[in-house]
Structure 1
């Protein structure tokens, strides 16, 4: 009876851990609902809670879960390559310039978030190792599969590894499209073997572009026709992947500044933190707020963007909270 009781207690503890993971997962939700304005700093209580930030050079590992369009993969790779200051061969304002705002955040030693993000490995889970219907906790099992695979496994890197799980358009993820477009958290040692930060983002091109690829698509449930100037043109030709890149940027900014959910966030409830990108949902340029994304650029074909990347790429990425200026900010700001 004592042995059975111990197992029961252990099971209860595991279930509590799972519950915490669901509660603490920070989410990128539909940003068209945001009513943020650039200068509302008096309402912000962003605080540092003494936890670590990702100050060491990041080795980023992508797990491509499902069947992916190679063109979309190339666009995402180019965005990742554009983040690092070592790849800042892009005209101003660049993706690396956008990341400089994220770099302003420090840990208790005064170390800033790193400016070096290297795409250090990719794993192709084309066989849908955990099926096409995934829970949020499935992401940790997918990472475990990628690092223990007999064929070209990813390294398990607890020192400076960051894992990015990207699911294809035919994969259904818990709460995807209904409540979230992406989230980040950290792995449990009893699942993966160590604690490493990770993020998940889904491709929304066929499932819910009006939610997760806005402002390149219009919410179908809004009950209103899109305004003539309300739909933006995707700079890389696909609303799903261009919208996904902004969500990836959002999650990378937050996992870097709050990897263990005990560093930078606003609010009194640590189980539901409001993080540095959450504070700027829906803002991409000066004058944004209340459903207007702000002033951005247009290329020669009329596509909308606000930062430049490697290989002549252009992207539209959401602003993040600048702790020095105490407002949402991006390198395309007009002031």
Structure 2
């Protein structure tokens, strides 16, 4: 992209972030969330919807170097909640988890390459963390103020987050008392990249919110269900925290798309880079074999009654599948045909 004057760049950024909730995700499949709902309206979006999907590589960079996830904990977080999320991220690269595993899920993401043929990195590790316990930018954030929060922590006088644009991902996780623009109504999380005019650097980032108080039936499904669906019962969450267990799949969704489309010019389907349909968007609501529509697919139940579809280092998680561009369908490590 050619250089753009700072004022113009900021104006364009404001427009994109304000009117386009396309780089977003919600687990409840009946609710229209992004470009895939419109491009593939007639598709059931189950494992075999290959004839309707035209995922292409648009020659942009992907994350082939070892990926480091830097986390900003915005608001009040319990230690137990942080442990669940940290262990999920650590589980992406572990080789010792019981099958089906989180690392097995990541193998599908690793299939994607850049223009040199280099694959997405196998290694995803936790980086530095920052706590923002006092809501430095308030309890109501816009898409642009999210970038301002990131700026505060990469430019902090005390222990700033490292600047790592080629292999670093920046996760802004908001606690259950923080409202973000379009949260619950349109999105549960989204990813994009920061603008030099705001942050000073171009950094791939994602925001994911804890929906436990605001809209668990929307963003923590199937561990909570929408009030307007009579008779639908929630499933038991594997780690005993509906809000955080609901966040895990959104975090996975965004990390997978950040790895394969960090600057929104690499792997996506559809004609519009402003509204790309990415590798996780294509598999919304699919967690197991046969998934599609309002059915999650075949999952596993633990002895304690909790529902999950893959194992981490010491914990179990429910994580949405992603699109396998080689086989042309959604895949996951718990597929019954593997």
Matched, 1:321 2:323: yes
Given that residues 25 and 184 in structure 1 are in contact (C-alpha distance below 8 angstroms), is that contact kept between their aligned partners in structure 2? no
Q: Deviations over 1:131-180 (max 9, x none)?
A: 11100111211111111222322112223211000000111100001100
CA distance in 2, matches of 1:14, 1:142: 16
Equivalent position of 1:82 in the other structure: 91
Equivalent position of 1:273 in the other structure: 276
Q: CA deviation at 1:269?
A: 1.5
CA distance in 1, matches of 2:96, 2:146: 34
CA distance in 2, matches of 1:12, 1:186: 17
Given that residues 9 and 197 in structure 2 are in contact (C-alpha distance below 8 angstroms), is that contact kept between their aligned partners in structure 1? no
Q: Deviations over 1:239-284 (max 9, x none)?
A: 1111100000000011111101011111112111111000000000
TM-score normalised by L of structure 1: 0.92
Q: CA deviation at 1:30?
A: 4.2
Q: Which is higher, the Rg of structure 1 or of structure 2? A: 1
Matched, 1:62 2:62: no
1:240-279 → structure 2 map (5 Å cutoff): 240-279=243-282
1:1-335 → structure 2 map (5 Å cutoff): 11-22=7-18, 23=20, 26-33=23-30, 35-84=44-93, 87-222=94-229, 224-226=230-232, 230-310=233-313, 312-335=314-337
CA distance in 2, matches of 1:81, 1:238: 19
CA distance in 1, matches of 2:114, 2:269: 16
CA-based RMSD of the aligned residues comes to: 1.5
Q: Greater helix share, 1 or 2?
A: 1
CA distance in 2, matches of 1:49, 1:12: 25
Given that residues 177 and 207 in structure 1 are in contact (C-alpha distance below 8 angstroms), is that contact kept between their aligned partners in structure 2? yes
Equivalent position of 1:3 in the other structure: none
Q: CA deviation at 1:12?
A: 4.7
Given that residues 265 and 273 in structure 1 are in contact (C-alpha distance below 8 angstroms), is that contact kept between their aligned partners in structure 2? yes
Partner of 1:115: helix, strand, or coil? coil
Equivalent position of 1:5 in the other structure: none
